[in-house]
Amino acid sequence: MNNTYASNLGAHHWTEMSDASTPSITHPHTAVSAAIHRSDGATRNKILRLLPPAELAALVERSELVEVKSKQILFQPEQRLEYAHFPEDCVISLVTVLEDGDQVEAMTIGNDGFSGIPIFHEIESSKHKGCGQITGTALRLAAKDFHDLARELAGLRRLLHRYSQFVFETAAQSAACNRLHVIEQRCARWLLMSQERVGRDSFDLTQEFLAEMLGVRRPGVTVAMGILEKAGLIAHGRGNITVMNRPGLEKASCECYRTIRARQAKLIA
Ligand SMILES: [Zn+2]
């Protein structure tokens, strides 16, 4: 019943909200198998992995596996949120959009978290835009199901509170980072975090998109990426990037990468 509710809502709203291409939506039960029966036998999402088995089963029962594409709009500012997403291997950006159309990424959400914090806090919409950053899959729940599960499941609720705190701390750290650290360091941090979240060394990324996410002009990103590439830390082709030397990239990043990672380990546990 819940699945039918979610699917019906899903089919309708995806067509409205996404680009021309419609993401594939598998039957919930098939989707669940695909999502959680990977080689390691578990979902990749860190919050879901921490749930007691009965809670995970209850959540998975009401979810469906969807593909989230790069640049796909999941929700617009102040538009009613229809879904929560738990990324498996996609990465989602929360973006702050200014009156003149300029935009900067406020938060990156990968398999360490979920999108839909306003729903959890019983707020209908967000000031942010939500869009796909790196194409991949996510477990998606209709807003009502997600809201009800967060009330019913104590383990889930605890983790959602902890992740909410992590998002606040990350946004605060990013505010300092954007103001005080140089583009090269910020590029390195962003690439490290994206690599971790997507779970592989190569992923789709254009310099234009990275400039938009970092809130800087594209020539600045081109110079910074050139420095990282010359040092053998990354390689980039048309529309994609490969992390070649992760320890080197960590050294090239500002302290914010280590700070955020340490808080992630403490809070998402
Ligand atoms: Zn920084």
pLDDT digits (tens, 9 = 90+) for 85-111: 999 999 999 999 999 988 888 899 999
Query: Which residues are placed with Cβ below 5 angstroms of ligand 1, an ion?
Result: 177, 181, 254, 256
Asked if 53 contacts 110 with a C-beta cutoff of 8 angstroms, the reply is no
pLDDT digits (tens, 9 = 90+) for 226-263: 999 999 999 988 889 999 999 999 999 999 999 999 99
Q: Distance from CA of residue 128 to its chain's centroid? A: 13
Query: Which is nearest to 251 in space by CA: 191, 208, 202, 206?
Result: 191
Q: Which domains does the chain have, with CATH numbers?
A: 2-154 (2.60.120.10), 182-253 (1.10.10.10)
CA 89 to ligand 1 centroid distance, Å: 25
What pLDDT, on a 0 to 100 scale, did the predictor assign at position 212?
84
- In whole angstroms, how far apart are CA 97 and each of 116, 177, 197? 18, 19, 24
CA 158 to ligand 1 centroid distance, Å: 29
Per DSSP, 238 falls in state T
Q: What mean pLDDT is predicted for residues 196-208?
A: 87
CA 183 to ligand 1 centroid distance, Å: 9
Task: Report residue 244 as tokens.
Answer: 């070649």
CA 186 to ligand 1 centroid distance, Å: 6
Asked if 95 contacts 131 with a C-beta cutoff of 8 angstroms, the reply is yes
Global pTM reads: 0.81
